[in-house]
Structure 1
Amino acid sequence: MVTKSFIKLSVIGLILSGSLSGCSTSQPAEIDSKLTAWQGAEIETLIQTWGLPTGEQQVNDLTYAEWNTRDIKNKPSMRVGVGGFGGNFFGSIGTTLFGGREEVHCRVQVGYNQEGRVVTTNWTGDPEACDAAIPERQS
């Protein structure tokens, strides 16, 4: 038999788990802006700040440098449990909703011209991973 308190707990659990799944703080527009700020910089300055790229390719008059990052992060989780007792008997049921581990990645590419100036930028991947991978440009 399902009790009213169990239903209330279930509803509260679903509400909380829905709010936990939307906790991403990095917005793609913010990352675009952060990366675009590097346009016009010298590639050597970028490499000094970011570290060596994981790869480079020449396409027509531009060279594209690429940085790839991978990380494992824990997904938000929530434990739900129901317990009860009566007489000499005690019992409980519990489960973990969502959670686990997730692999996240970020790929950032910058294209620079023959003079060594960054002229184009783009990124793909998890917004939080990319936000962490792209340093702020200091003026």
Structure 2
Amino acid sequence: MNKQTSLVLAGFAMLSLSACSTVQPAEVDSKLTAWQGANIETIIQTWGLPTGEQQVNDLTYAEWNTRDIKNKPSMRVGVGGFGGNFFGSIGTTLFGGRKEVHCRVQVGYNQEGRVVASNWTGDAEACDAAIPERES
């Protein structure tokens, strides 16, 4: 196996390992569920000010929205040559590009300020990053 083939195989191995590190929706659900019963003031102190609030029946829903641009993993493959006064190369980028990710988290709290409902929509990794761990 030559050096270029080894580098290409190593690149694919790294990409496949990074693909395994994605956050599962169940992990985000668990992280958000841990905040059930918390006081909304504690959540605001920990998460920051919500981007909006709305009243639905007897609950107030606080909402946090995040939007981010992520660079997708990429790998550059190239072939080059050098001889005499000639140098040339051919290359391409595999995968890669930019991806917009978003997350919307809502927590519903009652008149006493206790969280009794919650939900999230969007990219699991963005939501995982947006929801802080609840300290015991």
User: Do they fold alike, i.e. is TM over 0.5?
Assistant: yes
Instruction: Select 1:34's aligned residue among 14, 31, 43.
Output: 31
Residues 77/13 of structure 1: CA separation in 2 closer, same or farther (3 Å cut): same
TM-score scaled by length of structure 1: 0.82
2:59 is equivalent to residue 71 of structure 1: no
Deviation at 1:24, TM superposition (A): 4.0
Distance 2:128 2:93 in 1: 29
- State percent identity of aligned pairs: 85
| Unmatched 5+ stretches in structure 1 | none
Structure 1 residue 16: Cα displacement? 4.4
Partner of 2:94: 97
Q: Kindly indicate whether residue 74 of structure 2 is the aligned counterpart of residue 50 of structure 1.
A: no
Secondary structure of 2:45's counterpart equals: helix
Equivalent residue number for residue 56 of structure 2: 59
| Unaligned residue ranges in structure 2 (runs of 5+) | none
Cα deviation, residue 25, structure 1: 2.9
Q: Return closer, same or farther for 1:72/1:20 CA change in 2, 3 Å cut-off.
A: farther
Quick one: distance in 2 between partners of 1:47 and 1:36? 16
**Secondary structure at 2:28 match in 1:** helix
Structure 1 counterpart SS, 2:32: helix
Task: Normalising by structure 2, report the TM-score.
Answer: 0.84
Within the alignment, does 1:127 sit opposite 2:124 as a pair?
yes
- 2:79 maps to 82
Shift of 1:76: 0.4
- The letter for the 2-side match of 1:43 is I
C-alpha RMSD of the superposition? 2.6
- Deviating above 6 A after TM superposition, structure 1's stretches of 4 or more consecutive aligned residues are none
| d(CA) in 1 for partners of 2:46, 2:11 | 43
Size of the aligned set, in residue pairs, is: 135
Q: 2:48 and 2:82 mapped to 1: Cα distance?
A: 60
1:53 Cα deviation (Å)?
A: 0.6
